[in-house]
């Protein structure tokens, strides 16, 4: 009888050790979910591969298409993602809905990140800007700032983003609203500004690739466009240019879904992503801008590269930050108002 128990005990010990080993293996991996495409390719090299090496873990990857996917996972009770990158308005909404874990700022160093993009439950990962861009070779009148863009006396063909966010901010800046007075947005004033140049808007673009093609094909003489997109057009040899004066600064951001299986490791991954070295490396791979100011002290960011990034020391005082908190509270009503404007 004793021999049987001893054998049984040994079997139980082996099984327990196997279980512990299995749990340890699970704890040595986590999953990052992003937007895919060229951005995630760059993030893999700048963020994920260095973090995996530094932390001694395996970082798996997935793609998602926004907040709805995060919401569905959290509501299932078993989210498969540990760190997710969203747009800043979605991050603010996720926090409001209770879908995310609080971030551990004893692990994540946000000392050199603008406090407007550091929340208790999310932190910006990188920045981009909506700029005025123009063709230099059409011979048509072009706008080089928002004031000229929304002046109907400037007769060139133009294009705008087919969403109220960013477009309404641009209209109000073009009508003389000071950046410090931008929020709360005067929606009806923005609609009036948009209405006066509506006949000259030949395209309301919905995707970044479309905006770049409009400029490349010279279907428009000038337009509102994301800085990375126009930078690609310019780098291809096209005679186009753009300005960061009054550019609208937006951010992507990082969250940890509520109930994430590897919450502690997720905090460590975010800490690695926020390091100056990682932030600087991303900017060398894709024209997205660091949010950690210390990134600009890294040798990887040359003076020529810094000039093309909206958060660089020479550009940061030119740009205007978009408020994700305002949009979370007002987006549905404003979206309906904007749709009504477009329909008439």
Alpha helices, DSSP H, located in 108-159: 146-149
- Provide the β-strand partners of residue 252: 87, 126
Cis preceding linkage at 184, omega within 30:
yes
Spatial distance between the Cα atoms of 182 and 187, rounded to a whole number of angstroms: 11
- CB 142, CB 156: distance < 8 Å: yes
Q: Which helix (H) or strand (E) is 8 found in, with range?
A: helix 2-27
Structure tokens at 181: 């007075």
* First-to-final CA distance of the chain: 89
- CB 212, CB 195: distance < 8 Å: no
Spatial distance between the Cα atoms of 344 and 330, rounded to a whole number of angstroms: 22
Which CB contacts under 8 angstroms, 24+ apart, belong to 100-107? Answer: 100/255, 100/256, 100/257, 100/258, 101/255, 101/256, 101/257, 101/258, 101/259, 101/260, 101/263, 101/266, 103/256, 103/267, 103/270, 104/267, 107/267, 107/268, 107/270, 107/271
| Closest to 254 measured CA to CA, from 70, 12, 27 | 70
Could you report the per-residue pLDDT of 87-116, keeping only the tens digit for each? 999 999 999 999 999 999 999 999 999 998
* Cα-based distances in Å from 341 to 24, 120, 332, 334, 336: 56, 36, 14, 11, 9
Which CB contacts under 8 angstroms, 24+ apart, belong to 326-331? Answer: 326/183, 326/184, 326/185, 327/89, 327/92, 327/165, 328/89, 328/92, 328/93, 328/96, 330/184, 330/185, 331/89, 331/164, 331/165
Q: Give the model's pLDDT for residue 334.
A: 96
Q: Is 128-250+320-343 a CATH 3.40.190.10 domain?
A: yes
Q: Give the model's pLDDT for residue 27.
A: 60
Spatial distance between the Cα atoms of 297 and 293, rounded to a whole number of angstroms: 8
How much is the pTM?
Answer: 0.81
77: left (phi over 0), alpha (psi -120 to 50) or beta: left
> Per residue of the chain (344 residues), what is the pLDDT tens digit?
334 444 444 444 344 434 444 333 346 899 999 988 888 999 999 999 999 999 999 999 999 888 999 999 999 999 999 999 999 999 999 999 999 999 999 999 999 999 989 999 999 999 999 999 999 998 899 999 999 999 999 999 999 999 999 999 999 999 999 999 999 999 999 999 999 999 999 999 988 888 999 999 999 999 999 998 898 888 889 999 999 999 999 999 999 999 999 999 999 999 999 999 999 999 999 889 999 999 999 999 999 999 999 999 999 999 999 998 899 999 899 999 999 999 98
Q: What's the fold here for domain 31-126+251-306?
A: D-Maltodextrin-Binding Protein; domain 2 (3.40.190)
What is the torsional sign of CA 90, 95, 100, 101? Answer: positive
Looking up tokens 């550009």 gives: 315
- CB 231, CB 308: distance < 8 Å: yes
Residue 197: phi, psi to the nearest 5?
-115, 5
Determine how many CB atoms are found less than 10 A away from the CB of residue 58: 11
Q: What is the three-class DSSP state of 260?
A: coil
Alpha helices, DSSP H, located in 150-186: 164-174
Residue ranges of the chain that CATH labels 3.40.190.10 = 31-126+251-306, 128-250+320-343
Spatial distance between the Cα atoms of 35 and 212, rounded to a whole number of angstroms: 19
Q: Give the model's pLDDT for residue 66.
A: 87
- CB 212, CB 236: distance < 8 Å: no
How buried is residue 140: exposed, middle or buried, by Cβ count under 10 Å (0-12/13-18/19+)? Answer: middle
């Amino acid at each position: 009888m004793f021999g049987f128990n001893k054998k049984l005990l040994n079997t139980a010990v082996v099984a327990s050790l196997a279980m512990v080993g299995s749990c340890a293996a699970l704890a040595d991996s986590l999953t990052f979910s992003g937007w895919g495409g060229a951005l995630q390719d760059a993030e893999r090299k700048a963020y994920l591969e260095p973090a995996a090496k530094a932390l001694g873990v395996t970082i798996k990857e997935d793609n998602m298409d926004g907040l709805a996917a995060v919401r569905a996972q959290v509501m299932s009770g078993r989210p498969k993602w540990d760190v997710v990158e969203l747009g800043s308005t979605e991050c603010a909404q996720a926090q409001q809905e209770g879908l995310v874990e609080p971030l551990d700022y004893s692990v994540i160093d946000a000392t050199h990140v603008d406090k407007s993009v550091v929340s208790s439950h999310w932190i910006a990962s990188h920045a981009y800007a909506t700029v005025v861009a123009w063709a230099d070779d059409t011979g048509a009148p072009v706008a080089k700032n928002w004031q000229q863009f929304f002046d109907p006396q400037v007769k060139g063909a133009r294009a705008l983003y087919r969403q109220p966010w960013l477009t309404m901010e641009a209209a109000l800046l073009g009508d003389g609203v000071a950046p410090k007075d931008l929020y709360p947005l005067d929606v009806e004033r923005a609609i009036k500004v948009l209405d006066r140049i509506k006949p000259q808007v030949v395209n309301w673009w919905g995707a970044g690739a479309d905006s770049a093609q409009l400029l490349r094909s010279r279907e428009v003489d000038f337009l509102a466009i994301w800085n990375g997109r126009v930078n690609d057009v310019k780098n291809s040899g096209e005679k186009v240019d753009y300005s960061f004066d009054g550019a609208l600064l937006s951010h992507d951001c990082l969250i940890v879904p509520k109930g994430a299986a590897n919450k502690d490791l997720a905090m460590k991954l975010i800490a690695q992503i926020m390091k100056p070295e990682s932030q600087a490396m991303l900017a060398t791979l894709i024209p997205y801008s660091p949010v950690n100011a210390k990134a600009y002290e890294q040798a990887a960011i040359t003076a020529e590269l810094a000039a093309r990034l909206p958060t660089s020391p020479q550009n940061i005082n030119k740009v205007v930050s978009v408020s994700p908190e305002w949009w979370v509270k007002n987006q549905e009503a404003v979206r309906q108002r904007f749709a009504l404007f477009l329909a008439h």
